[in-house]
Amino acid sequence: MLDLRNDKFIELDSAIELHPESVYSFIDPITGKKLVAKFIAIYDDPDDAILLNEYKKLFLLSAEPEIGTVYYLASGKIKNDTRSCYVMDFIEGETIHDLIEKNEFLSYETISSITAQLASGMDKSHNFEIAHGDLHSKNVIIGEYGYVKIIDYLSHAVNFTFFSRKDLEDFKEIVNRLCNKVYTYETSSAEVLRKLCLSTETFKDLLWKIEKLNDVLFDYSFIDDEGKKIASVVIAQLPNHLLVSMVRNEADHEIEITAEVEITEEESRMAEQHLTKKVRYLDTRVGRIELYVGEKITQKLHQLKQIGLLDWSYQIVNKGERFLGPYFLDYQINLTPKLFRWKKVNSIAEFLPTSDEDDLTKLLLR
């Protein structure tokens, strides 16, 4: 900690007042660097106890990219009034509040990046048992290149247990406001991120969980609600120890007779002749049922195949008389490494929807 209060006096009469009597920006005469002098203005602080407490917090965190860097304690002179202050980087950019207010929509990429960086910064703060105490959207700045800087730690946030809980609630409020601004076509991804952040009870590992989610959310956003339910059911029923050579085999599922596969008059006539042994006909009804079932399965599973989660094969088997049945569906789901990765990520940060229906065949054929 560099304490220059008795040695370095900064003339601030020509400085720009950023906050009344507390924050001033100035140009360092030696380096030409734009800096900030921060004073304690609201509270009575004759012995600099509040200032020192605030400075020590930022000093411990100033090596972290999400926290503004502080340099030293000094004395600032404003119109013949000399007070203690600390000097830190001037952070160019706009607050999250301004970002939200001026934009009708924000991309998921922007929202996710801000959320991840904010989670990372707060995780580091809490690791040092330093609570922010006033984590609202005006106290987080987004720099020119999209980097987050957390500013204005509350100097009297000394009750870590209480204020760390408050930090978490304040963080969730910021995430809510950001996710409410997402483009409509990215809503599903934003809702998964929101769910993760609102359910968390600590900042620890939250950045890691967000990164794991983002590994799958790009593909996840391409499938519809039905596809998400099917993926959820398939993954939920996978064993914990997996091999790529594993397949899911389903057999002997009787086909429900619907209007599309009802026996025709011509097929009834051929079935009757077949039963009387007069003529032996090829069972054309199998082909119709296979086409009907194939269209349903393809409609449900094609999108999951397109994003590389699985593949499938199937056949229709007649276990009775020709044209009369009953007819049964046998099918096989071929698993991929990506499906295994989705299972792992879902166990870390649940993103797949839960479903009351756990019968995969019913989901595919309904």
Q: Helix, strand, or coil here: 142?
A: strand
Is the bond preceding 326 in cis, omega lying within 30 degrees of 0? yes
* Closest to 167 measured CA to CA, from 179, 182, 180, 150: 150
Quick check: 335 pLDDT over 80? yes
Q: Helix, strand, or coil here: 148?
A: strand
pLDDT band at 280 (very low <50, low <70, confident <90, very high): confident
Place of tokens 């398939």: 234
If you average pLDDT over every residue of the chain, what do you get? Answer: 91
Whether the Cβ atoms of residue 88 and residue 70 lie closer than 8 Å to each other? yes
pLDDT of residue 247: 86
* Closest to 312 measured CA to CA, from 234, 206, 228, 202: 234
What mean pLDDT is predicted for residues 170-176?
A: 98
Whether the Cβ atoms of residue 100 and residue 137 lie closer than 8 Å to each other? yes
* Closest to 35 measured CA to CA, from 52, 9, 54, 15: 15
Distance CA 303, CA 10 (A): 64
What CATH code would you report for 9-89?
3.30.200.20
pLDDT digit string (tens) for 94-117?
999 999 999 999 999 999 999 999
pLDDT band at 354 (very low <50, low <70, confident <90, very high): confident
Distance CA 203, CA 130 (A): 13
**Phi and psi for 40 in degrees, rounded to 5?**
-95, 115
The token duo for 349 is 């940060």
* Closest to 147 measured CA to CA, from 98, 186, 97, 110: 110
pLDDT digit string (tens) for 281-306?
788 899 999 999 999 999 999 999 99
Higher pLDDT, 100 or 265: 100
Residues of the chain with pLDDT > 70, as a percent, come to 99
The token duo for 214 is 């983002």
Quick check: 259 pLDDT over 80? yes
Place of tokens 């703060």: 125
Place of tokens 């993103």: 351
What mean pLDDT is predicted for residues 251-266?
A: 90
Distance CA 206, CA 221 (A): 21
In the CATH hierarchy, which fold is given to the domain comprising 94-221? Transferase(Phosphotransferase); domain 1 (1.10.510)
pLDDT band at 44 (very low <50, low <70, confident <90, very high): confident
pLDDT digit string (tens) for 116-138?
999 999 999 999 899 999 999 99
pLDDT of residue 352: 93
Higher pLDDT, 301 or 268: 301
Distance CA 143, CA 137 (A): 14
Alpha helices in 37-102 (DSSP H): 49-61, 96-102
Residues of the chain with pLDDT > 90, as a percent, come to 66
Predicted structure pTM score: 0.82
What mean pLDDT is predicted for residues 31-38?
A: 93
Taking the domains of the chain in order of start, what are their residue ranges? 9-89, 94-221, 226-365
Q: In one letter, which amino acid is 256?
A: E
pLDDT band at 240 (very low <50, low <70, confident <90, very high): confident
Whether the Cβ atoms of residue 229 and residue 147 lie closer than 8 Å to each other? no
